[in-house]
Amino acid sequence: MTTVEANGVTLGVEHFGDRAAPLVLLAGGTTMLSWPDALCEALARGGRHVVRYDLRDSGGSTTADPEAPAYTLRDLAADAAALARELDDRPAHLAGIGVGGMVAQVAALDHPDAFSALTLVGTRPVAPGPVDDDLPDHDAATMGRLFSHAMPDWSDRAAVAEFAAEGAQILGDDPVAARATAERRWDRTPGTDPAVQMANHLGTVFAKLDCTPRWRERLHELAIPTLVVHGRRDPFFPVGNGEALAREIPGARLLVLERAATAIPDAAAGEVAGAMLAL
């Protein structure tokens, strides 16, 4: 992993592939590792310069106070645009997963000259908080189970990994993959600092982030090729959210992964990479 200075902050980044046309991957709830290696490698084999990175207060990027972020959703969007410009003079294909997909939508709307294509994975067209009446909300039973088990000791690598595996099991994701990702995430940050470990959970940050003004009503302005990818079994952002995005973004293609929940399974990496490369 290396770092790039963009928009006045330090962003932890990882590169795959030759320095061809850039494809920037915005992190989801588990830092840049929310984008699986198998997908990054497939995209690189397809001729893209793939760059996955950690958002602020996450992983290897600038960490200040995740409990009281002194920036907004639009600052995160500006980070993405600044990173894309640092990487290459050519506009980048931008992809966002989970809460990172919200940042990606705003980045593409606010900085249209920086991006040539957009991929949105497992996300929705509104910010965290009250959901629009036409969008399916989190599955209540699943969320009850997810948030009812106690937080781990964030300085204990094994406990953090077990916590991640249990959460993945509840959500319908692969617990073995989640455990391995959690161990890698723990190893990338100071294991003795629980506050830094908490910073790896971007949902904690987003719950406190200023995400105004709304952007859903602007989605019709997007004029770049767009792919929406969503897991059929996603209980966190049910598939109706992805369907709404695909309806409201002109010309967007919807790819539903029938066997997926919130994460992109390695088995689907080739299919998702192919769809992204076709944009």
pLDDT at 196 over 70: no
pLDDT at 74 over 60: yes
CA–CA gap between residue 193 and residue 112 (Å, rounded):
39
Give 180's contacts (C-beta < 8 A, 6+ positions apart): none
Per-residue model confidence (pLDDT) at position 150: 87
Per-residue model confidence (pLDDT) at position 63: 83
Query: Residue 40 — pLDDT band, cuts 50, 70, 90?
Result: very high
Fold of 2-138+194-277: Rossmann fold (3.40.50)
For residues 228 and 255, the answer to whether their CB atoms sit within 8 Å is yes
- Give the model confidence (pLDDT) of 83-131 as tens digits: 999 999 999 999 999 999 999 999 999 999 999 999 999 999 999 888 9
| Alpha carbon distances (Å) from 153 to 55, 179, 192 | 23, 15, 10
| Alpha carbon distances (Å) from 121 to 8, 55, 89, 264 | 27, 16, 26, 9
**Degrees to nearest 5, angle at CA 269 with 230 and 99:** 40
Per-residue model confidence (pLDDT) at position 57: 87
pLDDT at 26 over 80: yes
Burial environment of residue 277 by CB neighbours within 10 A (0 to 12, 13 to 18, 19 or more): middle
Give 4's contacts (C-beta < 8 A, 6+ positions apart): 10, 11, 13, 53, 83, 86, 87
Per-residue model confidence (pLDDT) at position 165: 96
CA–CA gap between residue 165 and residue 149 (Å, rounded):
12
Per-residue model confidence (pLDDT) at position 37: 98
- Give the model confidence (pLDDT) of 2-25 as tens digits: 999 999 999 999 999 987 889 999
pLDDT at 186 over 70: yes
What are 216's two structure tokens? 């859903």
pLDDT at 67 over 80: no
Give 232's contacts (C-beta < 8 A, 6+ positions apart): 239, 256, 257, 258, 259, 260
- Give the model confidence (pLDDT) of 198-223 as tens digits: 555 567 778 889 999 999 999 999 99
H/E element, 72? none
**Per-domain boundaries in the chain:** 2-138+194-277
CA–CA gap between residue 88 and residue 176 (Å, rounded):
36
Which position has the higher pLDDT, 152 or 252? 252
The model carries a pTM of: 0.96
Among 154-163, 190-199, 264-273, which stretch is predicted with the lowest mean pLDDT?
A: 190-199
